[in-house]
Amino acid sequence: MPVAIITGASKGLGRALAGALAARGWDLVLDARSAGPLEEAARAVAAQAVAARGGRVVALPGDVADAGHRAELVATARRLGGVDLVVSNASALGAEPLVRLAELPLEGLRRALEVNVVAALGLVQEALAPLRESAAGAVIAVSSDAAAEAYGTWGGYGASKAALDQLAAVLGVEEPGLRVWAVDPGDMATDLYAAAVPDDGDPRPAPADVVPAFLRLLDERPASGRYAAPSLVAGR
């Protein structure tokens, strides 16, 4: 069975992707900060795995910004058989709700950079040896359109995702044996988006609606690079 590490897997996109991979028979190591919601998600994902006669699901609560936790995630995946996929989905906004740069707490910006950039690279560094050993090693960095567009109040979060995009691009060049994809999922109906823009009442796609884009990447294994989930779902 292939083995994936998914951060931020207690809800939203991380949970939806975990369920889809479980249904395909993947072994999963799931991370989130809150133990209760993560364990609940892991039980639901494990039930999907059983229904599909799929793989094992291990929940490891912790903070991806902690190096010891990252090491534990990778060690657990190796005990399951290796590391074939790392999905850096855990994110921090920097301020909730989002604010203009003039009002952005610098400590909030540091937290966004630590979680969205430093921790993502740290996890890949920890997992690099087993990823290289995998016949189909891949890294997915969950990005945002705020990384490429200048939206008011999204400056700190967008800057962190832009940095993540650049790390993913360089990693793809430095590790030609891997596939490294930065994926912009588009707006989704998630707790993160609600915390960022609590007054936005417009309907947004459910995370499950964009999961097919991630599965397409895994199935077709295009070149390393940046991809937009809506285009992948639409077949472009």
Quote the tokens at residue 169: 């691009």
DSSP notation for 64-106: TTSHHHHHHHHHHHHHHT--SEEEE-----SSSS---GGG--H
Q: Which two tokens stand for residue 106?
A: 């610098």
Out of 10, 91, 143, 144, which one is annotated catalytic?
144
Q: In angstroms, rounded to a whole number, what is the distance separating the alpha carbons of residues 171 and 150?
A: 25
Selected catalytic residue, list 10, 160, 161, 227: 161
Q: How far is Cα 54 from Cα 25, in angstroms, rounded to an integer?
A: 4
- The reply to whether 144 belongs to the active site is yes
Q: Which of 95, 90, 97, 110 is nearest to 34 (CA)?
A: 90
Q: Are 46 and 25 a contacting pair, CB within 8 Å?
A: no
Whether cis (ω within 30° of 0) applies to the bond prior to 37 is: no
CA 203 centroid distance within chain:
22
Residue 67 to residue 173: CA distance in whole angstroms: 25
- Which of the following is catalytic: 88, 157, 160, 227? 157
Which amino acids are annotated catalytic? 144, 157, 161
